[in-house]
Amino acid sequence: MTLSSETVVVTGASTGIGAATARELARRGLHVLAGVRRDRDADALRGDRIEPVILDITEPDHIAALTARIDSPLRALVNNAAVQTNAPVEALPLDEWRRLFEVNLFGHIAVTQALLPALLRHAGRVINISSVGGRVAMPTYGPYAGTKFALEAVSDSLRRELAPLGVPVVVIEPGAIRTDMASRVVAATNQAAAAMSPEHRDRYGNLIRAINAQSAAHTPNGVSAADAAQVIATAVTARRPRTRYTIGRDAALITRLSRLLPDRLLDRMLTASLRPHYRQSAAAGR
């Protein structure tokens, strides 16, 4: 079967990695159903072999409409949609925890359940976009990393369930990526910080500012969305894909260290990496 006769679904394709992946897969000859949230995002993405579909993965009606739209062999489902807010475990309201899990975990499970019959019919594959935060949880990353750790666990279980049925399950673990998501995360983090109690701001304010400063320093050196899309497209098209791919040197290094180092040593290394950003954020505040 040729790639031109097959379809790939990419969720969260409005911008960033999702949009770049949709374009790269289309360039390779696949028909892409690209999930977007708004009509203007659809207009910006629509092109040869790219068919935008309005898709909120937490809405059952949207998922049903997507499932009904598939009329050619389904090569892959790329579960990419995600939201992120960085906040201390103590200070983030439970409703916001639930929102992150609804999108970053339960939404992916819902889409996967709906599309698995089509994937099983044509020996397709599931590609779950996790994060280096699915292997190592930095301070204030607990809510987001919690969703990604859970996605990694679900992916492991699903891989072992589907391997005998001929459906590979692949996890992609990006590190820093140069996309607009970094600025959106900082904005969401600042919004969460503004809603904290004075006691929480006193306890965690300096930490949050240091995390934001660290993100601002590292993101410009990250991998481009187009380069990240190349890795994801390889996972979609390879005859025998690996079970995991990291994207970026930072992701490869951190995941390796997480396997080799004792917890307390890794904790000290992560604390040391934040120290310059405490100073940077303090200087910016003067």
- Catalytic residue, from 144, 204, 245, 278: name it: 144
Give which of 244, 175, 185 is closest to 211, Cα–Cα: 185
- Print burial letters for 58-84: b (CB count within 10 Å at least 16), e (below 16): eeeebbeebbeebeebbbbbbbbbbbb
Give which of 25, 55, 82, 45 is closest to 229, Cα–Cα: 25
Q: What amino acid occupies position 181?
A: M
Give the whole-angstrom CA distance, residue 204 versus residue 207.
5
Alpha-carbon separation of residue 19 from 9, 35, 95, 222, 245 (angstroms): 12, 9, 29, 17, 19
Give the count of beta carbons closer than 10 Å to the beta carbon of residue 188: 18
Q: Is 144 a catalytic residue?
A: yes
- Pure H helices in the chain: 16-27, 39-45, 60-69, 94-101, 107-121, 142-162, 181-194, 198-218, 225-237, 249-260, 263-284
Give the count of beta carbons closer than 10 Å to the beta carbon of residue 50: 21
Alpha-carbon separation of residue 66 from 103, 129, 224, 265 (angstroms): 17, 19, 29, 46
Residue with tokens 């925890």: 97
Greatest Cα pair distance in the chain:
63
Give the whole-angstrom CA distance, residue 66 versus residue 57.
10
Give which of 120, 109, 105, 124 is closest to 8, Cα–Cα: 124
Enumerate the active-site residues.
Answer: 144
